[in-house]
Amino acid sequence: MDPSKKGRDMAQDANKELLALNQRLLDCIARADWSVYREMCDPSLTCFEPEARGHLVQGLDFHEFYFKLGPVQGVHCTTMASPHVRLMGDVAVVSYLRLNQRVQTDGAPVTRAVEETRIWQRKDGQWKHVHFHRSQPD
Ligand code: GLY
């Protein structure tokens, strides 16, 4: 096989794997599945997210609070729109517009959009989530 094609195929496989992993992470957040989230994240996870009001969050404790509030209620869907994967050896940057489709308490459907970037690092053969940055919802 043409070595450059082999390289492209491997990169495509890694992209697919990373997008599937990232979707699994978003889905476990919606389900409030703390054990999956903890398994997918490195204990040293860092992030900027609106909930932290400008502070850099380090570690997992801050996130556990939200999982304790329980899963998203009602029909819902979390989509990575226009996802982009940048693979740099054992590190990958996954960027996309996240669309959260939810049902409000009055039953009306609502879609919120946020820009999100998540960084993954391959450690001992496994991808671990090590950093993310999420914009304010629109
Ligand atoms: N707030 C947890 C996460 O978005 O990963």
Do 25 and 129 touch, CB atoms closer than 8 A? Answer: yes
Q: How many domains does the chain have?
A: 1
* H helices present in the chain, as ranges: 3-31, 34-40, 61-68
Q: Give the structural domain span for 131.
A: 3-135
List phi, psi (to 5°) of 41.
-100, 145
Q: Is the CB of 67 under 6 A from ligand 1?
A: no
Note the Cα 112 to chain centre separation in Å. 16
Any atom of ligand 1 within 6 Å of the Cβ of 29: yes
Reported as a single tens digit per residue, the pLDDT across 68-82 is 999 999 999 999 999
The CATH number of residue 116's host domain is 3.10.450.50
Task: Give the tens place of pLDDT for each residue, 19-72.
Answer: 999 999 999 999 999 999 999 999 999 999 999 999 999 999 999 999 999 999
Contact 100, 80 (CB under 8 A): no
Token code pair at residue 95: 């960027």
Q: Report CA(42)–ligand 1 centroid distance (Å).
A: 13
